[in-house]
Structure 1
Amino acid sequence: MKAILLKSPGHFERIDIDEPAAPGPGEAVVRVHRVGICGTDLSGYLGKMPFFSYPRIPGHELGVEVVAVGSGVTNVKPGDRCAVEPYMNCGTCHACKKGSTNCCANLKVLGVMTDGGLRDRFVLPARKLHVSTKLSFEQLALVETLAIGCHAVNRSALTAGENCLVIGAGPIGLSSIVFAKLTGAKVIVLDVNAQRLAFCKEKMGVDETIVLNDKVVDDLRRVTDGALPDVVIDATGHNGSMSNAFGYIAPTGRLVYVGITTKEVTFIHPIFHRPEGTLLCSRNALPADFTRIIGLIETGKIDTTPWVTHRTKFEDMTEVFESYTKPETGVIKAVVEV
């Protein structure tokens, strides 16, 4: 059976692996149809993702078809099309008992700490499958990306009428924009890439965009009537951006880190103390986020049409993948057709 292995940073290999075993109790065998490429995959390729282990079969944004199920499985059946919740949690640790399965002490994320979906078929717990009778495999592969933004906005407690700044217009920033807009907040996007900001304005319908400059605070005051943003969501994973973000919030504002860096983040304490700021981190997503997102796409409240800018066949992925790390490629979201 074919698979793609990231043997070490920057080094893919096409490999042959064994067929998956028959599903055990509570398990399902799935056939992979589409795999989304996101910042985690790019960071893993570049050796910058702190949770990534090598060698690894990547792929955690998945649109799959159920092939077989084990005993006791009632939520899916062969032939079902599903999005995959790729966070393999233990169910017994403190976080899991609290319902915070995204923060499981023994968490293994598909394609990051355990092998993922860049292969024909594999076995996983059936409870991690979220069915849709309407969505395409490509749409289903976008659900996990959207779930990251959904959870980040939920963490922020953003409400209608507030100002929300999203820093970073990559896929995770875009998913945060989607859910910030759904709250009725005013959405501002900050990025270094004017092309991506144009995409946010034209395709995503954001209220304001700002190209990174040395007068960002002045620009933010201008578009928020002097108040600064009530919520700042940093989706860059860049320690410099994450450090600067402490100075962007309004009084009683909330700063949410959804991007991850391996480097030190620093700030001058009075900058964040003065407005009585709150710092939050957002990790992964929850099962309810997947259910909600599938429903929102099915009912047309989320339009996934603009998202996928690049598609590649499984056989060509290793040759084109490096181009996805380069901003000049213009990639918003790439999808692999398995």
Structure 2
Amino acid sequence: MKTLVLENPKAFKFQEQEAPASLEADEALVKIKNIGICGTDYHAFRGKQPFFSYPRVLGHELGGEVVKLGGNTNTINLGDKVTIEPYLNCGRCQSCLNDKGNCCENLQVLGVHVDGGMTEYLKVPYHKLHKSKILSFEQLAMVEPLSIGAHAVQRAEVSAKDLVLVIGAGPIGLSVVQFTKLRGSTVLVLDINKDRLKFARQQMQVDFILEATEDFSPDIIRRCLNGFLPTVIFDATGNPNSMKNAFSYVSFGGKLVFVGLFIGEVTFDDPLFHRREITLLASRNSLPQDFSDIIKLMETGKIDITPWLTHRADFDDLPHVFNEWLDPTTRVIKAVVSM
């Protein structure tokens, strides 16, 4: 089977590998149909992804078809269209036992810690497959990135009364916007990229867009919110300066959620943190229920990811176009690959 391997930073190579010959009783063989390209993939390509080693087969935003079953199951059938939950948790550690498999102590994520879906066939445990009779393979490949935002919003317990600031209008920031809007919140988006801000305004219908400039201050936010500050802030940038600055934007008694991450330390002013009684949260990956909920929302038309899919490529062309997608002038919101 044809497999695309990232041998080293900026060095893709196609290889012919043996297709999985045998399956455990609880495993299915999935023919990969579509692959979403994630910020994690871009970071890995650049050599800047935490918890990562080379060589690695990327790809964890996946839509595919079940073509073989390892044993009897009442949940999955041959021919099912599925998305893959790429978080392979151990089920035995304290986190797993507390229903927090998304931050399992021994977590292995497809395409990050172990080889992922940039290949023709992938074997996956039954309980990591989520099916739909309605959604396309392309739509199914978008469930995982949406789940990151869904989990972050759930972590923050966002409600309709909240004033929400999303910092970073990339795909993960937009997924946060999607679920805060579903909860009826007032939403502001802050970014340095004017094209992405325009997209957030026109396609996501956020209430306010704010351009991040060198002289940006909390007063600019207050002018949008009648003198108030956001009660919930999501930083989806993975930028240390942005994450540090976010502490000064949070309302008294508010919440700050770090969805993005970087290799390094975050520092903040402790008196400001205590005086405002800020709640600081990290959000990592998502939970099985997030996948099920998102599929239902997409099937009923409450979520439409069509405007997000700005760039497409065939699998054979991916090594040639991948570097182009890193160029901001290409205006990529979300890219998807067809097998």
Kindly indicate whether the alpha-carbon contact (under 8 Å) linking 1:9 and 1:45 is maintained by their aligned counterparts in 2.
Answer: yes
- The count of residues paired between Structure 1 and Structure 2 equals 338
What secondary structure sits across from 1:34 in the alignment?
Answer: strand
Which letter maps to 2:4?
I
The 5 Å alignment of 1:138-287 reads 138-213=138-213, 214-287=215-288
Runs of 4+ in 1 over 4 A off after TM superposition: none
Distance in 1 (CA, whole Å) between partners of 2:314 and 2:235 is 32
Confirm or deny: 8 A CA contact 1:160 1:185 kept in the other structure.
yes
Contact 1:51 1:112 in 2 (8 A): yes
Q: 1:33 matched to which residue of 2?
A: 33
Amino acid at match of 2:338: E
Question: SS of the residue aligned with 1:35?
Answer: strand
C-alpha deviation, 1:263, in angstroms: 2.3
The answer for the alignment partner of 1:13 in structure 2 is 13
Give per-residue Cα distances to partners, 1:151-184, cap 9 Å, x unaligned. 0011111110210000000000000000010111
* Distance across 2 between alignment mates of 1:74 and 1:52: 36
Which residue in the other structure is 1:62 paired with? 62
Q: Contact (CA 8 Å) 1:21, 1:123: kept in 2 or not?
A: no
1:330 aligns with 2:331: yes
CA distance in 2, matches of 1:100, 1:46: 30
Please give the alpha-carbon distance, in whole angstroms, between the structure 2 residues aligned to 1:97 and 1:215: 44
Contact map agreement 1:22 1:29 (CA 8 A) in 2? no
| Separation (CA, whole Å) in 1 of partners of 2:140 and 2:5 | 23
- Tell me the distance in 1 between the aligned counterparts of 2:107 and 2:249: 33
Q: Contact (CA 8 Å) 1:27, 1:73: kept in 2 or not? A: no
Shift of 1:72: 3.5
Q: For 1:284-295, what aligned pairs fall within 5 Å after superposition?
A: 284-295=285-296
1:121 aligns with 121
**Secondary structure, counterpart of 1:5 in structure 2:** strand
Shift, 1:270, TM fit? 1.9
Partner in structure 1 of residue 105 of structure 2: 105
Cα separation, 1, equivalents of 2:216 and 2:239: 19
CA distance, structure 2, for counterparts of residue 44 and residue 305 of structure 1: 26
CA distance in 1, matches of 2:13, 2:300: 40
* Counterpart check, 1:4 vs 2:4: yes
**Aligned equivalents of 1:306 and 1:185: distance in 2?**
21
The residue identity in structure 1 corresponding to 2:188 is: I
Structure 2: which 5+ runs fail to align?
none
Give distance in 1, aligned partners of 2:201 and 2:124: 39
Letter matched to residue 292 of structure 1: D
Partners of 1:322 and 1:138 in 2: CA distance: 22
Task: Give the Å deviation of 1:215.
Answer: 2.7
CA distance in structure 2 between the partners assigned to 1:287 and 1:161 by the alignment? 27
1:301 paired residue number: 302
Opposite residue 312 of structure 1, the aligned amino acid is: A
Post-superposition Cα deviations, 1:19-74, rounded to whole Å, max 9, x if no partner, equal: 11222111000000000001111111111111222110000000010001111322
**Percent identity of equivalent pairs:** 51
Q: What TM-score results when the alignment is normalised by the length of structure 2?
A: 0.98
In 1, distance between residues paired with 2:219 and 2:197?
A: 18
Gaps spanning 5+ residues in structure 1: where? none
Which amino acid in structure 2 is aligned with residue 114 of structure 1? Answer: V
Q: How high is the TM-score relative to the length of structure 1?
A: 0.99
Offset of residue 219 of structure 1: 1.2
Three-state SS of the structure 2 residue aligned to 1:181 is helix
Instruction: Tell me if structure 2 keeps the 8 A contact 1:28–1:69.
Output: yes
What secondary structure is seen at the aligned counterpart in 1 of 2:130?
strand
Instruction: Assess if the C-alpha contact under 8 Å between 1:255 and 1:277 holds in 2.
Output: yes
